[in-house]
Amino acid sequence: AQSVTQLGSHVSVSEGALVLLRCNYSSSVPPYLFWYVQYPNQGLQLLLKYTSAATLVKGINGFEAEFKKSETSFHLTKPSAHMSDAAEYFCAVSPSLYSSASKIIFGSGTRLSIRP
């Protein structure tokens, strides 16, 4: 079985400060990992995904995440927060991207607030 745990349901940072959203995964097979962002009353937008190529993955809007197998982590970072980054962020895991049986399992989400 696979799962992801997001540490911290709410993170608040100042504008211009570093953003760090934590995600740890559990998987019996090499995982595929994702970060999604959800703005209020909207669907999900893919920020980035890890597919076993480079361990440092760059996404949209200046976000990146690093896959660390030894720590079973896939934390999301952005060097400098912008007010428009305020949203809900979801870490997710899937056992495969090549199987019709693959399903994406979501973490509980982290709400990111940006202080002026």
Partner 1 sequence: GAVVSQHPSRVICKSGTSVKIECRSLDFQATTMFWYRQFPKKSLMLMATSNEGSKATYEQGVEKDKFLINHASLTLSTLTVTSAHPEDSSFYICSAREWEGGEETQYFGPGTRLLVL
Q: Which residues of the shown chain bind partner 1 in the complex (CB under 8 A)?
A: 36, 41-46, 49, 51, 90, 97-98, 100, 102-109, 111
Shortest distance (Å) from residue 85 CB to partner 1: 18
Q: CA-CA distance, 61 to 25, in Å (whole number)?
A: 24
What is the C-alpha end-to-end distance of the chain, expressed in Å?
A: 41
In this complex, which beta carbon is closest to partner 1, that of residue 41 or of residue 70? 41
Q: CA-CA distance, 116 to 108, in Å (whole number)?
A: 26
Shortest distance (Å) from residue 105 CB to partner 1: 7
In this complex, which beta carbon is closest to partner 1, that of residue 73 or of residue 110? 110
Shortest distance (Å) from residue 111 CB to partner 1: 8
In this complex, which beta carbon is closest to partner 1, that of residue 58 or of residue 103? 103
Work out whether the CA dihedral 38, 44, 48, 52 comes out positive or negative.
Answer: positive
In this complex, which beta carbon is closest to partner 1, that of residue 25 or of residue 36? 36
Work out whether the CA dihedral 78, 81, 82, 85 comes out positive or negative.
Answer: positive
